[in-house]
C-alpha cells in the first residue's frame, strides 16, 4: 500500500486578458508573446504567497470572441482554429516548463478529418510543456457560437473516441490535485460539473467568455452559477473570463463584464477582480483541506448523499436537445441554431414538460 503523498498548498492564478479578434493564425504568435509576459508577471507577484502551480486563461483567449466572427463563412473558422496540441500550445508550454506550472485555456480547435467544423476545447499543459488534458465543450451556446459539440455528432464521435463518461468528461490526476475543465455555457447545466466531480475532480476550471448583462448585478448569473457548482460538488472552482474585447467596429469593448474569480469548496469567493480590463488574480489552493472536508461524515456532503438511481429514468425520458443534431453538417448561421432551438422547445411542449 502506497503512503499518502501530501499536496502542499499552492497559488492558482487567473490571467484576465484584453483579447483581440484576429483575422488569421499568424497573429497568434504576437498574442502569445504578450500572454507569456503576463505569466512572468503573475509568477513574480503571487510567488510571494505560495508557489505558483497553475495559471488559467479564459475561453477564446486566442480568438477573442466567437460572436465577433458571425459574418464569416463557416470555412473561415478553419483559418483561426488551432490544433491541440499544436504550435500555439507549444509556445505556451515553453513558459509552463520554465516555471514548472500548469497552463489552462480554451480555444477553437480544428480536428483533421472534420472539415469546416471546429470544437470548443479546453486544455491543460503540464510543467513538462505537454498537453495532458483535453475537454470538448458539451453544452455549446447556440445563440453565440457555431462550434460543434460531441453530442451533435454522437455516433461519429463515439466511433472515433468512445462515449464513456471518462472520455466525455476527463479528469487528470496531477501532483496539485485532480483537475477537470468545463467551458462557459456548460456552467448553466449542473450535469457537466457533476459528471466531472463523479469522475474524481477536486479542482474545476471553467474558462469562459461571459457577457453582459449576465455578469453584473442585478442578474450576476456568473457568480451565482460558479458558487453553486463549487458547493454542490465540494470542489475548488477557478473561473477565468476575458477582459476588454478589441474587435470589429460596433462591438463594445466592455461587452465582457470581467469579474474573474476563484471559489473555494464551501462556495466562498476567495478572490475576484472588479474590472473589465486586463489583470491577474490568484488564491491559495489547499487540496489536503478539501480532502479532509470530503471525508467528514456530516450533512452537506453532497456527493456522498447523491441518490443517482432516482434520476436515471427522468433523463432517459426527457429527450430535450436531440443528439446527432448536426451530424450531416455544422450549422451555417445562427438562423440554423435558432430554428433547432425552436424545434427542441416544440418537443418539450409535446411531451408536457413546457406549457405554452
71-114 pLDDT tens trace: 555 666 777 899 999 999 999 999 999 999 999 999 999 999 88
* Alpha helices, DSSP H, located in 7-129: 28-46, 77-80, 87-99
Nine cell digits for residue 59: 475561453
Q: Which of 84, 177, 117 is nearest to 327 (CA)?
A: 117
Nine cell digits for residue 103: 497552463
Tell whether 1 is covered by a domain.
no
Tell whether 4 is covered by a domain.
no
Tell whether 329 is covered by a domain.
no
263-318 pLDDT tens trace: 999 999 999 999 999 999 999 999 999 999 999 998 899 999 999 999 999 999 88
Q: Which residue has the higher pLDDT, 150 or 114?
A: 150
Residue 2: predicted pLDDT: 45
Nine cell digits for residue 114: 472534420
Q: Are 301 and 127 in contact (CB under 8 A)?
A: no
Nine cell digits for residue 23: 483575422
Give me the chain's average pLDDT, please. 93
User: Can the peptide bond before residue 216 be classed as cis, meaning omega within 30 degrees of 0?
Assistant: no
Torsion of Cα atoms, 87 then 93 then 98 then 100, to 10°: -170
- Please state the domain count of the chain: 1
Reported as type and span, the H/E element at residue 338 is helix 334-350
Helices and strands in the chain: count of H runs, count of E runs: 10, 14
Domain that holds residue 55: 10-310
Which CATH number do you get for residue 190? 3.60.110.10
Tell whether 137 is covered by a domain.
yes
Amino acid at each position: 500500500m502506497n503512503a499518502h503523498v501530501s499536496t502542499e498548498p499552492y497559488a492558482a492564478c487567473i490571467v484576465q486578458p484584453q483579447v483581440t479578434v484576429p483575422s488569421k493564425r499568424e497573429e497568434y504568435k504576437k498574442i502569445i508573446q504578450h500572454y507569456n509576459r503576463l505569466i512572468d508577471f503573475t509568477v513574480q507577484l503571487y510567488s510571494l504567497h505560495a508557489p505558483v502551480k497553475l495559471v488559467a486563461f479564459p475561453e477564446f483567449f486566442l480568438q477573442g470572441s466567437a460572436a465577433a466572427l458571425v459574418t464569416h463563412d463557416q470555412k473561415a473558422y478553419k483559418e483561426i482554429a488551432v490544433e491541440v496540441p499544436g504550435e500555439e500550445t507549444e509556445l505556451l508550454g515553453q513558459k509552463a516548463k520554465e516555471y514548472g506550472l500548469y497552463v489552462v485555456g480554451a480555444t477553437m480547435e480544428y480536428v483533421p478529418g472534420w472539415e469546416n467544423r471546429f470544437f470548443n476545447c479546453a486544455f491543460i499543459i503540464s510543467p513538462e510543456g505537454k498537453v495532458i488534458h483535453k475537454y470538448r465543450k458539451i453544452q455549446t451556446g447556440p445563440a453565440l457560437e457555431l462550434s460543434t459539440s460531441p453530442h451533435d455528432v454522437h455516433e461519429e464521435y463515439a466511433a472515433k473516441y468512445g462515449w464513456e463518461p471518462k472520455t466525455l468528461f476527463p479528469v487528470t490526476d496531477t501532483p496539485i490535485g485532480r483537475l477537470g475543465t468545463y467551458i462557459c455555457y456548460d456552467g448553466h447545466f449542473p450535469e457537466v460539473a457533476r459528471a466531472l466531480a463523479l469522475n474524481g475532480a477536486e479542482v474545476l476550471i471553467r474558462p469562459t467568455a461571459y457577457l453582459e448583462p449576465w455578469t453584473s448585478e442585478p442578474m450576476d448569473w456568473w457568480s451565482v452559477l460558479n458558487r453553486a457548482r463549487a458547493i454542490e460538488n465540494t470542489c475548488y472552482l477557478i473561473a477565468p473570463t476575458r477582459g476588454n474585447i478589441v474587435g470589429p467596429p460596433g462591438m463594445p469593448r466592455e461587452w465582457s463584464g470581467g469579474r474573474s474569480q476563484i471559489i473555494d469548496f464551501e462556495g466562498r469567493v476567495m478572490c475576484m477582480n472588479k474590472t473589465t480590463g486586463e489583470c491577474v488574480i490568484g488564491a491559495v489552493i489547499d487540496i489536503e483541506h478539501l480532502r479532509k472536508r470530503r471525508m467528514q461524515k456530516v450533512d452537506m456532503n453532497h456527493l456522498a448523499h447523491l441518490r443517482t438511481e432516482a434520476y436515471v429514468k427522468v433523463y432517459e425520458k426527457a429527450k430535450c436537445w436531440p443528439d446527432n443534431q448536426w451530424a450531416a453538417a455544422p450549422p451555417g448561421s445562427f438562423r440554423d441554431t435558432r430554428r433547432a432551438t425552436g424545434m427542441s422547445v416544440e418537443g418539450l411542449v409535446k411531451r408536457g414538460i413546457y406549457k405554452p
